[in-house]
Chains A and B, each alone.
Chain A
Amino acid sequence: MSQLDDLKTAIKSRLGELECVIGWEQGYDPLHATPLFIRSEADLDRLIIGPLAVHNLATYLTGWKGKKVGVVVKGCDSRSVIELMNEKLVSRDDVVIFGLCCDGVVSQRKIRAALPADPGFVESVEIGADSLKVTVAGQAATLRLADVQADKCLVCDTPDAIVSDFLIGKAHTPAPAPSLKCQDEFEAKSDAEKFAFWQETMGRCIRCYACRNACPMCVCRDYCIATSRDPLWVSQENLPSENMMFQMIHVSHLAGRCTECGECERACPVDIPLMLLRRYMNKQVRDVFKHEAGKALDQTPPLLTFKVEEERINERGW
């Protein structure tokens, strides 16, 4: 039986007791998936998984607080679920986790880049073992999956759901790359270059808050301090400084909580590489607190606790 069939049987077995099960279905065209909220077995027919099922569905969990739901998660998504549980934002008893062993997902951005022109509407997509055949306006183009894989998959060390009620597919032995080229290159730049870079990108930011809304950890929702008057942290002016301020708020609120699912960057309509900030902050958190969000249950986010003697924080000579 295929992974999808196994998943469907698993969901069937629990659907009865659940408000709904969150999965994926085809979106406006065969290339794009969109979240699917399965309430009846009929809905199950539309369920899809695979490299196109990119969304981190954990993002929807807090919206169902108090109700018992199921969620289909890839390894990376499961980290978000775990972190939400560790922060008591979601209760384990309220969630049935259908964990996948994931072979990696695509980056729509890379696909767009790989295709001769912006595809617009895609007629059909054939997913092969390691290739992707995309047909646009009668023209078929075959892309190597490896070339269009999302960055996070290249460095992913948790392809299989860490916590789950059902673990579907066959487990991987991950061989993640030590680091991402783009990240290393950017970090190597001079302060001036980096500053100029953010000045430019933040000038581009339209503060649509898509990055925030897509983030599974941004649970403040309507009460985000970036869009409130009391407290009023950011002005309405669309200035690079104000946009950067908003991004800094997002980063600092994610410090020690971000699970690097990449949703923020994926959701950005103006292609701001937000993961540069996320990965860097996570690196700092790893170095100082030996902490990785969502890698294990019952962890305390490092900024919600302390040690009287901090091994890795040296008072600077003053």
Chain B
Amino acid sequence: MLKVAYYPGCSGQGTSLEYDTSTRAVCKALDVELVDIPDWSCCGSSPAHTVNHVLSAALSARNLAQVETMGMTKAATPCPSCLTNLRTAAHKMDDPEFKDKVNALLDVPCRNAVDTQSVLQVLAENVDPELIKGKVVKPLTGIKIACYYGCIMNRPPEVMRFDHHENPMAMDNLMALLGAEVVPFPLKVECCGASYGIPRGDIVHRLSGKLLDAGRDVGADAIVTACPLCQMNLDLRQGQINDALRENFRIPVFYYTQLLGYALGIDRAELGFEKLCVDPRLALGRIKQPQQAM
């Protein structure tokens, strides 16, 4: 049974609670043991790394050091933003000089011996597709899905080292495996506007609007994401976007773990569909019932 240190990330405790719970649930179901990193702290995201790279890296390094003290070398996080920070920190620490600067700020020095991956990568690379297939109880037959990866999970390639940086397929393959009809989504790695939601809503409206528009164009019943921020911009702000762009999108935006959990027949409570702003029932309704699917 595969064992990885688990870094939930702050949004996993708040805005994307359902991402965290569903992630834990599907990993459990797929025999991937997630061991919480004791006393994990902020990854040094936007606020820190826009001001001070060493400090930001130190925040990440602290968590990596924690993993090392757990005696583990592999960590996973659902959040691409956390992933970027953790990996970037490790990448920069390959330079011994930088590493020393960072460790100067830490009580427990970081050996930089941990490889952090997205949960998606762990599932895509370490879990046998046949195993997943075997565990599917409710195939997603009938629903059309556009997979949206977000701009940072695969980029920059030399740091992230996962999938294709312009045209990733990991989620597409996973969803196809679950029986969903995956539509070719051209804007897989486009920016959703990210944290500009607060200072410059209009930017998010334009960028996320374009994503929803593209989703509609390719006839997607739903968009599937792997990023809390993307999900929030597309889902929570869909109403704002409609107002701003005189549109009337009604595209539910799932976390891939939610649909995966659905297919694996995991208890709804852990998947937290009710937390979605855009009502997913219509989309989920398109999924043919198993007996019909058979």
Verify whether A and B have any Cβ pair under 8 Å.
no
A contact set with B: CB distance below 8 Å:
none
